[in-house]
């Protein structure tokens, strides 16, 4: 595995080990002792009460990511998770992380995990709505939940049980492993002054957002992250969305298109997921499973923090290179919201499993929006500026 070189990433690891030393040590010792049958007691253990040193089960995994190595925010999240797992198991559980295209193409990570080519993957579930439409809820849907709301739904609002049911058919266990926060609306070679100007536009946009854009007349393309810039630069597409200023700058989109639109209404809080094949998951000692969960959650927290810290200065750099920020017009936003609602309803009408997830998700969303629409919204209106 190529180790991350980002100083902030290294710092976050050191901080974790300092601040959560007792937890990490307990997890590592628990893992080792829990799998004593797979290891050996070291000679010279203190018979006066000090615990013997036990070597845990040695495991080697490969993880295929949907993202290029250059994206130290997203791809770096998988590397951080792997480093934490290795540290908490004393090097006994080692996950080697591969960028998109090195083992499998970016959009074939789910297949690779399902068929056992790799034990694990890092990806976004909305890439695979062609297999099962309801998988989109594991990432996000248009005009849906923010990052905080998405995490709350998955981990505290019943979403995890529903998502586990969706992936059971594929023999995959999923772990939430990060979020981008609300995204930008993307890069356009030309202006989008009104709804009519979207018709015929060739745009890279995956998931339900792509379906909404298709309903508005856009010719939708689904292209892996590392392939987007060449397509935009040579004119194979007219527009693309990705994440936000920091990642977008790294991929160079500002060099090929100068109109930067907002907001990314199709991705108000996109979750990253780690996929683990059922056999690989079942073969893990119980302690290693818990360590993997903790590592994924910690790396996910780091990912969101990095985006929130790195996006503001990246935006300033981009704007200094001839880029113009533009809001989507009211008619685009209204039509998109209507189309999104209709698509959700249409999917539910033809798919009972989708309807079950949508019903539970909608109940949570409505309550969450009602709450966030009070204190959060009032504060935001008072404190935030467009800049």
Pick the closest to residue 215 from 349, 330, 339 (CA basis): 339
CA distance 158 to 356: 12
CA distance 215 to 37: 58
Kindly report the average pLDDT of the chain as a whole number.
88
Could you read off the pLDDT of 190-206 as tens digits, one per residue? 999 999 999 999 999 98
Average the pLDDT over 225-254 and give the result. 95
C-alpha pair distances (Å), 367 with each of 26, 145, 152, 354, 362: 38, 11, 12, 20, 9
- Between the two ends of the chain, the Cα-to-Cα distance in Å is 41
Query: Quick check: 275 and 121 in contact, CB under 8 A?
Result: yes
Which domains are delineated in the chain?
Answer: 7-39+53-179+270-309 (3.40.190.170), 186-268+313-348 (3.40.190.10)
- The C-alpha angle with vertex 304 and arms to 293 and 240, in degrees rounded to 5, equals 115
pLDDT recorded at residue 223: 85
Query: Quick check: 59 and 284 in contact, CB under 8 A?
Result: yes
The answer to whether residue 77 scores a pLDDT higher than 50 is: yes
DSSP-derived secondary structure for 118-151? SSEEEE-GGGGTTT-GGGGGGT--TT---HHHHH
Could you read off the pLDDT of 291-329 as tens digits, one per residue? 999 999 999 999 999 999 999 999 999 999 999 999 999
Helical (H) or strand (E) element with 62: strand 59-65
CA distance 343 to 374: 28
Query: Quick check: 127 and 113 in contact, CB under 8 A?
Result: no
Token pair in block for residue 118:
């790799």
CA distance 296 to 292: 6
Could you read off the pLDDT of 24-51 as tens digits, one per residue? 434 443 433 343 333 333 333 334 443 3
CA distance 21 to 19: 6
Its pTM stands at 0.84
Could you read off the pLDDT of 346-369 as tens digits, one per residue? 999 999 999 999 999 999 999 999
C-alpha pair distances (Å), 98 with each of 21, 106, 120: 29, 11, 10
- Own/partner pairs, 15-19, CB within 8 angstroms, 24+ separation: 16/84, 16/298, 17/87
């Amino acid at each position: 595995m190529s180790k991350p070189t980002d100083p902030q990433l290294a710092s976050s690891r050191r901080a974790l080990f300092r601040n959560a030393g007792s937890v990490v040590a307990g997890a590592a010792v628990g893992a080792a002792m829990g799998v004593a049958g797979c290891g050996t007691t070291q000679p010279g253990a203190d018979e006066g009460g000090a615990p013997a040193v036990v070597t845990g089960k040695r495991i080697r995994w490969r993880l295929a990511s949907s993202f290029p190595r250059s994206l130290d925010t997203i791809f770096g999240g998988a590397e951080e998770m792997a480093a934490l797992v290795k540290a908490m198991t004393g090097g006994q559980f080692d996950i080697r992380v591969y960028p998109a295209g090195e083992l499998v193409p970016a959009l074939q990570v789910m297949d690779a995990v399902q068929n056992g080519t790799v034990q694990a993957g890092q990806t976004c579930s909305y890439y695979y709505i062609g297999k099962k439409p309801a998988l989109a809820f594991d990432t996000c849907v248009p005009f849906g939940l923010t990052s905080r709301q998405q995490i709350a739904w998955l981990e505290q609002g019943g979403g995890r049980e529903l998502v586990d049911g969706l992936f059971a058919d594929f023999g995959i266990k999923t772990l939430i492993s990060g979020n981008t926060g609300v995204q930008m609306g993307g890069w356009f070679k030309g202006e989008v002054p009104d709804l009519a100007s979207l018709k015929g536009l060739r745009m890279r946009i995956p998931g339900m957002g792509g379906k909404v854009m298709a309903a508005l007349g856009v010719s939708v393309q689904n292209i892996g992250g590392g392939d987007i810039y060449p397509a935009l630069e040579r004119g194979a597409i007219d527009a693309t969305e990705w994440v936000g200023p920091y990642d977008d700058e790294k991929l160079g989109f500002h060099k090929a298109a100068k109109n930067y639109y907002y907001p990314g209404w199709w991705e108000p809080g996109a979750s990253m997921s780690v996929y683990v094949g059922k056999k690989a998951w079942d073969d893990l000692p119980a302690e290693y499973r818990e360590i993997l969960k903790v590592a994924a959650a910690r790396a996910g927290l780091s990912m969101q923090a990095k985006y929130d810290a790195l996006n503001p200065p990246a935006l300033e750099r981009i704007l200094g290179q001839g880029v113009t920020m533009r809001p989507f017009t009211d008619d685009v936003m209204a039509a998109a919201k209507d189309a999104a609602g209709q698509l959700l309803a249409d999917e539910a009408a033809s798919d009972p499993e989708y309807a079950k997830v949508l019903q539970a998700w909608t109940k949570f969303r409505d309550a969450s929006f009602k709450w966030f629409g009070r204190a959060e919204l009032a504060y935001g209106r008072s404190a935030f500026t467009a800049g």
